[in-house]
Amino acid sequence: MKAWFQKLIDVSSVAPTDATIKQALPELVRGLGFDCFAFLHVQPIRTCAVSNYPAEWQERYLGRDYAKIDPVVAMARSRLQAFAWMAGKPRQAANKAVRTFYAEAGDFGIRSGISVPIRTAFGHMSMLTLASSKPAVSLKSDIDQVAAVTSVALLHAALEHHDAEPTAARSVELTAKQALCLKWSAEGKSMRAIATIENMSYANVNFHLNNARKTLDASSLAQATALATKLKLI
């Protein structure tokens, strides 16, 4: 696999666009004996993917926020090193949600694979998964951890550099009032000023801003404003 990781480094380094990377990855993955891949960028409120998994599975996975119950993601968070995995038998999973997840993943031909997680900026995590419909992965040698992490870090940097369009993303929505109040906050207006401008009570402005903060999983109004701006919600 070390040679394969070198190929991934080469592709990530020379690809002129994100489309070039997306075109090259499926062939690379098949050449290693896997069926499909998923590059997942996990953030508190916005998990997005660049993947050739079936579109229906990508939408379901992100729409239902399966990253919170996916055992592979949990293992990636705890280990932060490359590892091989196989989906447990649905009936053997202790948690009903995980049993359902295993069964659905199996229906889409995702039963085993290898995952390479990396720590990204500001405490977030990205991971590349190569998946197979086989019940287990058979590797001829141990995964070279340095080569694995280096290649996925360069892939992450290349996708970030090209501002790659996700193939799927978990959407976050604000109400019209929440977005309006946050936009005024981003313009530097205080809650009392927003109340005057929009002919609302101070309590209502506080209510909408507080709910917007909760929706964005932000610890402060400033963070909520920054996140809403970054996600182009305001």
- CATH number at 106 reads 3.30.450.80
Contact criterion met (CB below 8 Å) for 33 and 49: no
Looking at 169, 185, 205, the residue that finishes a domain is 169
One domain, residues 46 and 91: yes
Residue-level pLDDT, tens digit, the chain, 234 residues: 889 999 999 999 999 999 999 999 999 999 999 999 999 998 767 789 999 999 999 999 998 889 989 999 999 999 899 999 988 665 555 688 888 899 999 999 999 999 999 999 888 899 999 999 999 888 877 899 999 999 999 999 999 999 999 999 877 889 999 999 999 999 999 999 999 999 999 999 999 999 999 888 888 999 899 888 887 888
Asked whether residue 127 falls in the same domain as residue 198, the answer is no
Residues 123 and 208 in one domain: no
Report angle CA 124, 129, 135 to the nearest 5 degrees.
140
Final residue of a domain: which of 169, 193, 211? Answer: 169
pLDDT of residue 91: 56
Q: What is the residue range of 188's domain?
A: 176-230
**pLDDT of res. 216:** 87
Query: What is residue 89's predicted lDDT score, i.e. its pLDDT?
Result: 60
Rg (CA), the chain: 21
Are residues 25 and 56 both part of a single domain? yes
143/194 same-domain check: no
Q: Are 132 and 34 in contact (CB under 8 A)?
A: yes
Same domain flag for 66 and 40: yes
Indicate which CATH number applies to the domain containing 222.
1.10.10.10
- The b/e string for 115-148 (b: 16+ C-beta within 10 A; e otherwise) is bbbbebeeeebbbbbbbbeeeebeeeeebbeebb
Same domain? For 43 and 60 the reply is: yes
Distance CA 208, CA 56 (A): 34
Q: What is the pLDDT of residue 231?
A: 79
Give the count of domains, the chain: 2
* Four-CA torsion 234, 17, 39, 116, nearest 10 degrees: -130
* pLDDT at residue number 232: 83
Whether residue 72 sits in one domain with residue 132:
yes
Q: Are 14 and 55 part of one and the same domain?
A: yes
Tell me the backbone φ, ψ of residue 96, rounded to 5 degrees: -60, -40
Residues 61 and 113 placed together within one structural domain of the fold: yes
